[in-house]
Copies of this chain bind each other. A is one copy, B any other.
């Protein structure tokens, strides 16, 4: 396709992308809830939107990418010990939710870096926007679309539905939602089962709590994204993304909240990434087929034959379209590993190709194939299949079966740099610091040095010594054999 098109969940169609205010693009993606290690399904979502962010930048847009961290949870204070007031004041010995937030935010950022995703431009947190959430609740109440009861505030979905379409994104119907939900049992203070919380009164055991016009409490989960997306991207912005599972109720509620508060639909294009399975089954802890990123890298998991480099995993994920489910298996990962190596090797080969006056390859046609694939709703698997056609052509030139001229070589080098490195975000392995390999190579060198000395081949042993010296490495002979150290 000539121009970027993307599948808008809101319309259920592929649409031509037209930025609201070019060259700026506002992109908001629902981030992780940091109460456990980030799981692979989440990683896939963020790698998908990393691809989208990177491609938009390649097209020349000035993207402001906002991805939140959900750190206002629902943790109850059941770990608190001690009853006296002093110990309650000296809160050190009680569970502090923000400590959990910190632990898993570090894990999350670490994994995002290992997967070579670009950091978002703004990474706002729910707890960082309590004032703004209280402000929007007041707005919605002023419009008559929310009500307070017992210190909690709920969004009045039926009232909203009189003038607006709750279900516009997910296709759910109010009648079906109502008939499908439990009757209110007297315990439930909401007017209707479909209403959702904007603010919840904190029970005495709830640790995370803030003062509000309705007493101490905490915001409803859906609210933070409505607030943070519009605060940083404006009341109307271009793209909102997230995992498929967030479509309902989370994103439906976001739409209703923004429409109720501001009178506008905040988001022009809604994009949703699909799920991961393992050998056809949904990954879940209870089934024992849930794999953490570190387990996948090390291979330390009963379902894995071996470990895989993070770049191989990224490549594997990008070999599926973001809107398709992706099935993990040892075989599929091993195939991706080979493919990744072939691709990266060809990229290296390209740099050292001999040029001729003639060229059997045309870089412009590859460029238009590559862009055409990505313009078609970010179709990375089609892009990669075109890349493998180019890999074949590069290898044919290397084997002398085809020719390439300097202009084409330069064009292809730039094209591969853009599409392999900048857009797919693939780099040579980022894993490991090479220390083990360095040790192994030094073993080879010391062994050869010993051979040359035994053979009285002083020229070779001197050459080795001099070359190592240039690398700041000194080899010392001791009673246990030669040892080396870096200076």
A-to-B contact residues, CB < 8 Å: 20-21, 24-26, 62, 64, 87, 89-93, 96, 98-99, 101-102, 106, 109, 119-125, 127-128, 130-132, 134-135, 210-211, 232-237, 341, 345, 348, 352, 430, 432-435, 437-438, 440-445, 447-448, 451-452, 455, 457, 459-460, 463-464, 467-468, 470-471, 480, 485, 487
22 of the cross-chain contacts (CB-CB < 8 Å) are A25-B92, A64-B99, A89-B234, A89-B236, A90-B235, A91-B232, A92-B234, A96-B122, A98-B122, A98-B232, A131-B134, A135-B211, A437-B438, A437-B471, A441-B442, A443-B467, A444-B471, A447-B463, A448-B448, A448-B452, A451-B459, A451-B463
- Chain B residues with CB under 8 A of A470: 440
Complexed CA–CA distance, A120 and B106 (Å): 11
Stoichiometry (number of copies): 2
How far, in angstroms, from A467 to B440 measured CA to CA in the complex? 9
Query: Does the CB pair B441–A471 fall under 8 Å?
Result: yes
Known: A24-B93, A92-B234. 17 other contacts (CB 8 A): A21-B93, A62-B92, A64-B92, A89-B235, A90-B236, A91-B232, A92-B237, A99-B122, A125-B125, A132-B210, A341-B487, A433-B433, A433-B434, A434-B434, A441-B442, A447-B463, A448-B452
Give A93's nearest chain B residue, CB to CB. B24
Q: In the complex, which residue of chain B has the Cβ closest to the Cβ of A110? A: B113
Q: Which residues of B contact A451 (CB under 8 A)?
A: 459-460, 463
**Are B444 and A468 closer than 8 Å at their CB atoms?**
yes
Report the Cα distance A471→B445, complex, angstroms. 13
Given contacts A93-B24, A441-B445, A448-B464, is CB(A131)–CB(B131) below 8 Å? yes
With a cutoff of 8 Å between Cβ atoms, the chain B residues found around residue A24 in the complex are: 90, 92-93
Min CB–CB distance A427 → chain B (angstroms): 11
Instruction: List B contacts of A455 (CB < 8 A).
Output: 457
Question: Which of chain B's residues have a CB closer than 8 A to the CB of A430?
Answer: 433
Complexed CA–CA distance, A128 and B480 (Å): 59
List residues of chain B with CB within 8 A of the CB of A235: 89-90
Q: How far is the CA of A134 from the CA of B121 in the complex (A)?
A: 28
Q: Is the CB of B119 within 8 A of A98?
A: no
Across the two chains, which residue of chain B brings its CB closest to A92? Answer: B24
Interface SS of A by simple majority: helix
Question: Known: A128-B125, A131-B130, A131-B131. Contact between A233 and B441, CB under 8 A?
Answer: no
Q: Which residues of B contact A121 (CB under 8 A)?
A: 96, 99, 102
Q: Which of A90, A99, A455 has the most CB of B within 10 A?
A: A90
Q: How far is the CB of A480 from chain B (nearest CB, A)?
A: 7
CB nearest neighbor in B for A138 = B211
Output the least CB separation between A68 and chain B (Å): 11
| Residues of chain B within 8 A of A127, CB atoms compared | 128
In the assembled complex, the Cα of A210 lies from the Cα of B233 at a distance in Å of 17
Contact B233 A91, beta carbon cutoff 8 Å: yes
How many Å lie between the Cα of A92 and that of B23 in the bound state? 10
**Contact A485–B345 (Cβ < 8 Å):** yes
- Nearest-neighbour CB distance to chain B for A403, whole angstroms, equals 16
Q: How far is the CA of A464 from the CA of B435 in the complex (A)?
A: 20
Q: In chain B, what residue has the closest Cβ to A337?
A: B487
Inter-chain contact A102/B120, CB cutoff 8 Å: yes
> Which of B102, B132, B352, B448 meets A460, CB within 8 Å?
B448
The 9 closest A-B pairs by CB, nearest first: A434-B434, A24-B92, A90-B234, A128-B128, A441-B441, A440-B471, A98-B122, A131-B210, A91-B234
- Interchain CB contact under 8 A, A119 and B102: yes
Taking the closest CB of chain B, its distance from the CB of A235, in whole angstroms, is 5
| A236–chain B nearest beta-carbon distance, Å | 6
**How many Å lie between the Cα of A71 and that of B90 in the bound state?**
27
Would you call A467 and B447 a contact (CB within 8 A)? yes
Write the nearest CB–CB distance from A310 to chain B, whole angstroms.
Answer: 14
CB distance from A369 to the nearest CB of B (A): 27
State how many angstroms separate the Cβ of A241 from the closest Cβ of chain B. 17
Contacts of A211 in B (CB 8 A): 131, 134-135
User: What are the residues of chain B within 8 A of A90 when measuring CB–CB?
Assistant: 20-21, 24, 26, 233-237
Taken together as a complex, chains A and B put the C-alpha atoms of A230 and B438 apart, in Å, by: 49
Q: How far is the CA of A134 from the CA of B135 in the complex (A)?
A: 15
Contact with A438, one of B441, B452, B485, B487 (Cβ below 8 angstroms): B441
